[in-house]
């Protein structure tokens, strides 16, 4: 039996994997602070993905995209890749090659991928799918606190609070074991939908505020206005631990509840009641999720919730706080160690001369050889195959053909590449477009570290070996790097060796992992970063001071503004997207698990019965939704508590059922996060009469 952690979300629930006589693994939950012996449906079935039909075990190569793949040996595949990369770099420069990573990669892979891009390829063109997930909260937390660690406290702390406000988060579906930590507090759920979390909150006597999509920022301003008007602010905390409140108050002064109601649709008396409940609590937390972030004003919206938290004196105080709920399994670690366009390991900025010098010294290169910042994820994908953009891309652990906004355009851009290389364990929608597909090991077939939503570094242990012919991502990076002229020892294949180097490279950095060792992880130490080699872990940040030089948190004055597009007579409804309990991300893993697929086989659109009827639709019928960018099809599910102006779609499905066929690639100016949550659409019956799902 091997005790390890789930391959899915950032709770990183612990589980036991027990081998059967036929060699297959069976999952049993294990006790761990985040899941406390529980698992969701995805976790219970996680081992099935290891033996999924269609598992890739040999490299695939095609020299003509109009033809089928051929199975080839590793040397043939790797030589083909390096020949093309070498030619492109020689004739068009290093930025002709792009790298796209993932928030699902281990810390070791994230670190080595960033190193590979900057040293072996010399490219600045690297980013990852976490840009679609946590970048707005990270930007807002950094400018408020001087440091981003999604939850700067252990998750278990929230269970002792009286009130928890969840803004744009639906953990009852996305992270079910988390709800055990939220059973005692009064929940205030801010969500345009009557989500599963909102239903549970209401059943327990909590509160659901359902603002018009894209107006959370106005709601936060209205709640801050109420708290100030009712003399509920923590003025001592504001004076002693923060700066910038006066400017923030000027931005909130006009947002009295009646004005806020006009913009958000939330009744003024409910805004006042929620603000008073939160402000008067003996211990309170504000937690934000993707619903607040995936907008062109996502960073400012998160800042508005942080401003409310600071005004009430919550961050850095025992029993209270602000935190952002990380989504992907290693969403936290993935954004810390160098696979973002603007970062080096340890949350160092790539344009910081001191950071560049420190990392270059660890890597054994001259600082001037390191490239500067590159394009963010959406901008990188949009530049593929253009005259000034990359002509080749190496893709690890991500499926942008389904997960990126405006996917028809992204697929066109990917198809225009001269070389697309995908490392995956199945032929995902992105892998199916590739020139070369490299079969990789899965989560239970290798070991490495992850950093969960609390900033806790943990170890995933291998429970089995990969199928013959499969290599790990570290082995793939080593093989490509050495073919590109790098010394083999610069790209270790042993995760523990990489972890040791990562520790050296992050020593003294904001995200210091220098004290994280396999021995300490095996001993059960709770290693919340920063973990300096000479010090202890830090489960609770900001208790004494924030990470700005003066030790104070920053209020950031923000104002509500409209989304990038609004409804019209042609596109009269707002479409918003989210997750289901039974599926994960682009569905490349979970849509291959029979139990999960049987439970949720098709995409659906959640819509108010009256809205459905006005558009000629009824329960169970197939509908077509069309935005300015494309169309998708989904099966109608009516919900009497849905907003009349809003429809909801899960984004785990591909092809004709892909929600991101609709979504808007407009970006937040700070975080470069796309506006996934608001697309103006029209709704109509699908142009077919049978009840089978369209293709």
Structure confidence at residue 290 (pLDDT): 94
Structure confidence at residue 467 (pLDDT): 95
The Cα 281–Cα 165 span in angstroms is 11
E strand or H helix at 388: none
**Can you tell me the mean pLDDT for 323-352?**
94
The Cα 11–Cα 181 span in angstroms is 12
The Cα 613–Cα 401 span in angstroms is 33
Summarised one tens digit per residue, pLDDT across range 405-439 is 999 999 999 999 999 999 999 999 999 999 999 99
**Can you tell me the mean pLDDT for 12-38?**
93
Taking the alpha carbons of 149, 150, 154, 158 in that order, is the dihedral positive or negative?
A: positive
The Cα 266–Cα 108 span in angstroms is 45
CA distances (Å), origin 105, targets 14, 188, 440, 497, 634: 17, 33, 12, 16, 31
Same domain, 425 and 365: yes
**Can you tell me the mean pLDDT for 191-216?**
97
Q: Which long-range contacts (CB under 8 A, 24 or more apart) does 366-371 make?
A: 369/119, 369/122, 370/118, 370/344, 371/94, 371/95, 371/118, 371/122, 371/123, 371/124
Q: Tell me whether residue 194 is in a domain.
A: yes
Q: Tell me whether residue 584 is in a domain.
A: yes
Query: Per the structure, how many domains does the chain have?
Result: 3
Summarised one tens digit per residue, pLDDT across range 248-298 is 999 999 999 999 999 999 999 999 999 999 999 999 999 999 999 999 999
Q: Is the pLDDT of residue 530 over 60?
A: yes
Tokens for 365, please give them.
């290169």
The Cα 320–Cα 272 span in angstroms is 21
Place of tokens 């801010």: 190
> Exposed, middle or buried, 202 (CB in 10 Å: 0-12/13-18/19+)?
middle
The Cα 609–Cα 35 span in angstroms is 37
> E strands, 462-504, where?
none
624 backbone dihedrals φ, ψ, rounded to 5°? -110, 130
Same domain, 447 and 347: yes
Same domain, 507 and 656: no
Q: Tell me whether residue 21 is in a domain.
A: no
Q: Is the pLDDT of residue 629 over 70?
A: yes
Tokens for 431, please give them.
């892998």
User: Where residue 692 falls among pLDDT bands split at 50, 70, 90?
Assistant: low
CATH of the domain at 592: 2.40.40.20
Summarised one tens digit per residue, pLDDT across range 75-101 is 999 999 999 999 999 999 999 999 999
- With pLDDT > 90 as the criterion, what percentage of the chain qualifies? 94
**Can you tell me the mean pLDDT for 526-534?**
94
Structure confidence at residue 525 (pLDDT): 83
Tokens for 612, please give them.
């459905």
> Which residue, of 286, 307, 324, is where some domain finishes?
324
Q: What is the CA radius of gyration of the chain?
A: 24
Cα 33 off chain centre by: 21
Q: Is the pLDDT of residue 689 over 60?
A: no
Structure confidence at residue 690 (pLDDT): 45
Same domain, 492 and 429: yes
Q: Tell me whether residue 596 is in a domain.
A: yes
635 backbone dihedrals φ, ψ, rounded to 5°? -85, 135
Structure confidence at residue 354 (pLDDT): 96
- Whether the upstream peptide bond of residue 181 has omega within 30° of 0, thus cis, is no
CATH of the domain at 368: 3.40.50.740
Residues 35, 11: contact at Cβ < 8 Å? yes
Same domain, 348 and 456: yes
Summarised one tens digit per residue, pLDDT across range 475-502 is 999 999 999 999 999 999 999 999 999 9
- Cross-strand pairs, 684: 624
Look up the domain containing 579 and give its range: 573-685
DSSP letter, residue 499: H
Q: Tell me whether residue 553 is in a domain.
A: no
> Which residue, of 463, 485, 511, is where some domain finishes?
511
> Which residue, of 511, 545, 563, is where some domain finishes?
511
CA distances (Å), origin 418, targets 65, 70, 413, 446: 10, 18, 11, 32
Helix (H, G, I), strand (E, B) or coil at 60: strand
E strand or H helix at 116: none
E strand or H helix at 358: helix 353-363
Same domain, 104 and 176: no
User: Where residue 519 falls among pLDDT bands split at 50, 70, 90?
Assistant: very high
Choose among 110, 154, 12, 157: nearest CA to 526: 154
The Cα 67–Cα 33 span in angstroms is 50
The Cα 214–Cα 301 span in angstroms is 9
Q: Is the pLDDT of residue 163 over 60?
A: yes
Structure confidence at residue 535 (pLDDT): 82
Q: How many residues are there in the chain?
A: 695
577 Cβ partners below 8 Å, 6+ apart?
A: 648, 649, 650, 651, 659, 660, 663, 676, 677
Summarised one tens digit per residue, pLDDT across range 550-608 is 999 999 999 999 999 999 999 999 999 999 999 988 989 999 999 999 999 999 999 99
CATH of the domain at 195: 3.40.228.10
Same domain, 109 and 197: no
> Exposed, middle or buried, 325 (CB in 10 Å: 0-12/13-18/19+)?
buried
The Cα 136–Cα 216 span in angstroms is 14
Structure confidence at residue 587 (pLDDT): 87
> Exposed, middle or buried, 67 (CB in 10 Å: 0-12/13-18/19+)?
exposed
Same domain, 281 and 350: no
Residues 626, 681: contact at Cβ < 8 Å? yes
Summarised one tens digit per residue, pLDDT across range 346-372 is 999 999 999 999 999 999 999 999 999
The Cα 197–Cα 203 span in angstroms is 10
Q: Tell me whether residue 29 is in a domain.
A: no
**Pairing of the two strands 573-578 and 679-685:** antiparallel
Same domain, 487 and 389: yes
Structure confidence at residue 33 (pLDDT): 95
Q: Tell me whether residue 532 is in a domain.
A: no
The Cα 523–Cα 514 span in angstroms is 17
H-assigned helices in 534-664: 594-599, 609-614
CA distances (Å), origin 149, targets 13, 154, 483: 19, 11, 37
Cα torsion 634, 635, 636, 642 to 10°: value is -60
Summarised one tens digit per residue, pLDDT across range 250-261 is 999 999 999 999
User: Where residue 187 falls among pLDDT bands split at 50, 70, 90?
Assistant: very high
CA distances (Å), origin 408, targets 379, 438, 584, 629: 15, 24, 21, 8
**Pairing of the two strands 242-243 and 553-554:** parallel
- With pLDDT > 70 as the criterion, what percentage of the chain qualifies? 99
Same domain, 445 and 386: yes
Q: Is the pLDDT of residue 691 over 90?
A: no
176 backbone dihedrals φ, ψ, rounded to 5°? -50, -40
CA distances (Å), origin 322, targets 92, 312, 559: 46, 11, 20
* Whole-number average pLDDT of the chain: 96
Structure confidence at residue 375 (pLDDT): 98
> Exposed, middle or buried, 439 (CB in 10 Å: 0-12/13-18/19+)?
buried
Tokens for 623, please give them.
């509908």
196 Cβ partners below 8 Å, 6+ apart?
A: 170, 172, 173, 581
Choose among 436, 480, 443, 490: nearest CA to 462: 443
User: Where residue 531 falls among pLDDT bands split at 50, 70, 90?
Assistant: very high
Structure confidence at residue 695 (pLDDT): 55
User: Where residue 694 falls among pLDDT bands split at 50, 70, 90?
Assistant: low
Q: Tell me whether residue 667 is in a domain.
A: yes
Other CB atoms within a 10 A radius of the CB of residue 594 amount to 11
Same domain, 444 and 303: no
Lowest-confidence pick of 9-18, 545-554, 577-586: 577-586
Summarised one tens digit per residue, pLDDT across range 465-479 is 999 999 999 999 999
Same domain, 378 and 299: no
């Amino acid at each position: 039996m091997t005790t390890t952690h789930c391959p899915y979300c950032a709770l990183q629930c612990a589980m036991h994997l027990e081998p059967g006589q036929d060699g297959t693994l069976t999952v049993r939950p294990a006790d761990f602070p985040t899941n406390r012996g529980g698992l969701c449906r995805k976790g219970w079935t996680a081992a099935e993905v290891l033996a999924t039909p269609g598992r890739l075990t040999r490299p695939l190569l095609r020299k003509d995209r109009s033809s089928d793949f051929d199975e080839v040996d590793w040397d043939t595949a790797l030589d083909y890749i390096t020949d093309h990369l070498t030619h492109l770099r020689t004739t068009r420069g290093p930025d002709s090659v792009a790298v796209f990573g993932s928030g699902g990669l281990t810390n070791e892979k994230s670190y080595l991928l960033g190193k590979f891009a900057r040293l072996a390829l010399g490219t600045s063109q690297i980013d990852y799918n976490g840009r679609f997930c946590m970048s707005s909260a990270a930007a807002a937390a950094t400018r408020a606190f001087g440091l981003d660690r999604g939850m700067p406290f252990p998750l278990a702390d929230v269970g002792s609070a009286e009130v928890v406000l969840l803004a744009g988060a639906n953990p009852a579906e996305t992270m079910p074991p988390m709800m055990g930590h939220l059973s005692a507090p009064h929940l205030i759920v801010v969500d345009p939908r009557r989500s599963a979390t909102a239903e549970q909150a209401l059943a327990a006597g909590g509160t659901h505020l359902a603002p018009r999509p894209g107006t959370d920022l106005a709601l936060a301003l209205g709640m801050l206005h109420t708290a100030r008007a009712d003399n509920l602010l923590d003025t001592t905390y504001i004076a002693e631990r923060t700066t910038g409140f006066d400017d923030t108050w000027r931005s909130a002064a006009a947002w009295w509840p009646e004005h806020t109601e006009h913009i958000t649709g939330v009744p003024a008396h409910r805004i006042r009641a929620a603000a008073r409940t939160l402000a008067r609590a003996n211990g309170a937390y504000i937690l934000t999720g993707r619903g607040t972030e995936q907008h062109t004003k996502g960073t400012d919206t998160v800042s508005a919730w942080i401003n409310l938290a600071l005004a009430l004196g919550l961050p850095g105080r025992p029993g209270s706080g602000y935190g952002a709920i990380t989504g992907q399994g290693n969403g936290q670690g993935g954004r810390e160690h160098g696979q973002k366009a603007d970062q080096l390991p340890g949350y160092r900025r790539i344009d910081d001369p001191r950071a560049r010098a420190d990392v270059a010294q660890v890597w054994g290169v001259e600082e001037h050889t390191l490239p500067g910042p590159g394009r963010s994820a959406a901008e990188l994908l949009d530049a593929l195959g253009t005259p000034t953009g990359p002509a080749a891309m190496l893709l690890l652990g991500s499926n942008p053909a389904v997960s990126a906004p405006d996917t028809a355009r992204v697929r066109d851009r990917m198809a225009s590449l001269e070389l697309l290389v995908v490392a995956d364990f199945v032929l995902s929608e992105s892998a199916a477009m590739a020139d070369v597909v490299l079969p990789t090991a899965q989560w239970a077939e290798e070991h490495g570290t992850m950093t969960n939503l609390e900033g806790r570094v943990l170890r995933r242990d291998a429970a089995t070996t990969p199928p013959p012919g499969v290599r790990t991502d570290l082995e793939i990076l080593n093989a490509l790097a050495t073919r590109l002229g790098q010394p083999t020892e610069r790209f270790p294949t042993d995760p523990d060796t990489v972890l040791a180097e990562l520790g050296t490279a992050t020593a003294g950095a904001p995200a210091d992992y220098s004290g994280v060792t396999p021995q300490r992880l095996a001993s059960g130490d709770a290693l919340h970063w920063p973990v300096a080699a000479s010090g202890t872990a830090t489960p609770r940040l900001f208790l004494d001071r924030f990470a700005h030089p003066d030790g104070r948190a920053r209020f950031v004055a923000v104002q509500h503004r409209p989304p990038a597009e609004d409804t019209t007579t042609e596109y009269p409804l707002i479409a918003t997207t989210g997750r289901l309990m039974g599926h994960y991300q682009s569905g490349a893993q979970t849509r291959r698990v029979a139990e999960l697929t049987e439970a949720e086989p098709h995409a659906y659109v959640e819509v108010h019965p009256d809205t459905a009827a006005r558009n000629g639709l009824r329960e169970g019928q197939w509908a077509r939704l069309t935005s300015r960018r494309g169309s998708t099809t989904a099966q109608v599910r009516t919900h009497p508590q849905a907003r009349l102006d809003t429809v909801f779609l899960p984004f785990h499905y591909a092809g004709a059922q892909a929600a991101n066929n609709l979504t808007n690639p407009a970006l937040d100016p700070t975080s470069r996060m796309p506006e996934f949550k608001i697309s103006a659409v029209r709704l109509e019956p699908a142009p077919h009469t049978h009840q089978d799902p369209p293709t």
